[in-house]
């Protein structure tokens, strides 16, 4: 829980320190001489981005301070740096087994939203499968201030806490092993979580998908003993408004590559290939708490891409939900197939704008690494609007080009299109494949989160595994829609 000027108890107090020693006036008088002497002897602790744990003992009392250096802070800097420092503060608190953390905001000189964002971003762990590990999360965070409005800060804390409820849910699901999260189990979980008078949930099983002619989802899921599902979650926060945002999330619960089998190295972490679906569900979870007056339909195509005698094959031609035919040239290019049926269905359900999230291509990782998500779309104004929302909440994205020449790479000799465009510009052609199933008058954006959805190695703060990327962007977008 995070609050402003709440419970006065704490294990550790976070303060900003510089050569002027102004922060000393905020701490107990008995600790001031020792801290002053320490800072005079260790000027390196005062340098911007420095973090240091200091303990002051007086009799039987030991006070712990986390010192945040402020000297030589750039005059012009991005609030993203405050977000990064806040993540490091939380990582240091977790390392020290802090349960009650207090921060003296008036000493820190940090952007309050970025600080709250960074603290909550890092206050996460996934220990469900560790049998002898105790939780190490910070239970309570108290922001102490005399200069800022308590009511406004508490409101901000509630908004960020609600958004992170969705992010933590998405991380938990993405971190779960595939043997514990089949398409059916995911669908059942959605039914359990999404109980609200503003929400309707529909689940389509394999037979319903076949009957509807959703050839992409059916083909990808054919090889697995766990049949595919399509789950739709409709949130009606403004029933009288015809506008509806469609969020489509790729939900491949495990991706072996199918008959185009991945290498051993390529198979590792493929449990995260449903991160897009987790993002979509995370948005709905946050909406249930914040109750924004907006309309959203989340469409989650869920399947396992597993080789067997029933699997779809290279050179197959399948018929998609729209009737368009697709020649299969690589069964490991399966995500775009399930997404194509799902975006078509989202439009049928009333989506007037679309965003899809998918761990889609290694080519995106090659282009942007693990720093930025890739995006492309069919409407520049919509792209600019979403890009701005992402920048405001510290989610890094970058736009791919979408020239017509790239679409030409998808032409097939025997079908309407093929599912791969060749070795060149793979992230672009993958996104443009999905575009073939989006109506011209529906603004659409594709996010490739292959490099940003999952930390395969610990980041600078020690966070490993799923990130829940994309949820903050969409919630910021919906917030701006709700206030207009």
Predicted confidence pLDDT, tens digits, the chain (484 residues): 899 988 767 889 999 999 999 999 999 899 999 999 999 999 999 999 899 999 988 766 788 999 999 999 887 789 999 999 999 999 999 999 999 999 999 999 999 999 999 999 999 999 999 998 889 999 999 999 998 899 999 999 999 999 999 999 999 999 999 999 999 999 999 999 999 999 999 999 999 999 999 999 999 999 999 999 999 999 999 999 999 999 999 999 999 999 999 999 999 999 999 999 999 999 999 999 999 999 999 999 999 999 999 999 999 999 999 999 999 999 999 999 999 999 999 999 999 999 999 999 999 999 999 999 999 999 999 999 999 999 999 999 999 999 999 999 999 999 999 999 999 999 999 999 999 999 999 999 999 999 999 999 999 999 999 999 999 999 999 999 988 6
255 in a known ligand binding site: yes
Residue ranges in 123-238 assigned as alpha helix (H): 150-175, 183-193, 206-212, 215-221
Start-to-end CA span in the chain (Å): 30
- Compute φ and ψ for 418, nearest 5 degrees: -115, 165
pTM exceeding 0.75: yes
Residue 36, classed as helix, strand or coil, is helix
Q: Please report which residue ranges of 268-379 form alpha helices under DSSP H.
A: 275-290, 335-348, 362-368
Torsion angle in degrees (nearest 10) through CA of 425, 428, 430, 436: -130
Q: Which two tokens stand for residue 152?
A: 């406004």
Q: Is 273 annotated as a binding residue?
A: yes
Q: 73 has which bridge partners?
A: none
Q: Which of 122, 336, 418, 435 is catalytic?
A: 336
- Of the residues 184, 198, 262, 324, which is catalytic? 262
**DSSP conformational letter for 400:** P
Q: Which helix (H) or strand (E) holds 176?
A: none
Q: Which two tokens stand for residue 400?
A: 């791919």
* DSSP H or E stretch at residue 373: strand 373-377
- What are the backbone angles phi and psi of residue 414, rounded to the nearest 5°? -125, -10
- At residue 337, φ and ψ (nearest 5 deg) are -70, -45
262 is catalytic: yes
Q: What is the number of alpha carbons within 13 Å of residue 438 lying toward its C-beta?
A: 26
Q: Which tokens sit at 46? A: 């005062």
**329 included as an active-site residue:** no
Helices (H) and strands (E) in the chain, counts: 16, 20
Is 334 annotated among the ligand-binding residues? yes
Question: How far apart are the C-alpha atoms of 184 and 310, rounded to whole Å?
Answer: 19
Largest separation between any pair of C-alpha atoms in the chain: 84
Q: Do the annotations mark residue 71 as ligand-binding?
A: no
d(CA 190, CA 184): 10
Q: Is 250 annotated as a binding residue?
A: yes
């Amino acid at each position: 829980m995070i609050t402003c000027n709440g419970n006065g108890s704490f294990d550790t107090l976070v303060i900003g320190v510089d050569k002027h020693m102004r922060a000393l006036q905020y701490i107990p008088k008995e600790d001031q001489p020792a801290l002053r002497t320490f800072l005079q002897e260790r000027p390196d602790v005062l340098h911007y981005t420095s973090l240091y744990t200091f303990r002051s003992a007086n009799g039987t009392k030991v006070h712990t301070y986390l010192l945040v250096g402020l000297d030589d802070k750039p005059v012009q800097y991005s609030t993203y740096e405050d977000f990064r420092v806040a993540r490091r503060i939380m990582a240091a608190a977790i390392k020290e087994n802090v349960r009650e953390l207090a921060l003296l905001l008036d000493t820190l000189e940090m952007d309050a939203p970025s600080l709250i964002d960074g603290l909550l971003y890092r206050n996460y762990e996934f220990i469900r499968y560790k049998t002898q590990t105790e939780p190490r999360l910070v239970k309570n965070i108290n922001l102490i201030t005399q200069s800022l409005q308590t009511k406004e800060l508490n409101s901000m804390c509630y908004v960020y806490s609600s958004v992170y409820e969705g992010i933590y849910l998405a991380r938990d699901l993405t971190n779960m092993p595939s043997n514990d999260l089949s398409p059916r189990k995911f669908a059942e979980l959605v039914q359990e979580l999404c109980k609200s008078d503003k929400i309707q949930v529909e689940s389509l099983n394999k037979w319903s998908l076949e009957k509807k002619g959703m050839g992409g989802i059916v083909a990808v899921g054919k090889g697995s003993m766990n049949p595919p599902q399509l789950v739709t979650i409709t949130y009606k926060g403004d029933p009288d408004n015809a506008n509806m945002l469609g969020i489509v999330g790729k939900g491949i619960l495990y991706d072996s590559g199918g008959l185009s089998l991945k290498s051993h190295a390529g198979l590792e972490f493929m449990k995260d290939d449903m991160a897009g679906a987790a993002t979509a569900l995370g948005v709905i979870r946050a909406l249930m708490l914040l109750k924004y007056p907006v309309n959203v339909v989340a469409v989650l195509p869920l399947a396992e891409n597993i080789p067997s005698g029933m699997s779809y094959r290279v050179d197959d031609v399948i018929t998609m939900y729209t009737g368009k035919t697709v020649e299969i040239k690589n069964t490991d290019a399966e995500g775009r197939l399930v997404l194509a049926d799902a975006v078509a269905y989202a439009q049928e359900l009333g989506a007037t704008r679309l965003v899809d999230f998918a761990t889609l291509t290694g080519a995106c990782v090659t282009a942007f690494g693990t720093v930025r998500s890739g995006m492309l779309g069919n409407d520049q104004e919509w792209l600019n609007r979403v890009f701005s929302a992402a920048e405001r909440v510290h989610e890094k994205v970058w736009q791919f080009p979408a020239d017509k020449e790239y679409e030409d790479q998808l032409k097939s000799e025997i079908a309407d299109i093929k599912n791969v465009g060749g070795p060149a510009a793979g992230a672009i052609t993958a996104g443009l494949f999905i575009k073939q199933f989006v109506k011209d008058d529906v603004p659409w954006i594709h996010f490739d989160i292959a490099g940003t959805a999952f930390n395969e190695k610990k980041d600078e703060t020690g966070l490993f595994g799923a990130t829940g990327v994309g949820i903050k962007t969409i919630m910021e977008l919906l917030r701006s829609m709700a206030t207009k």
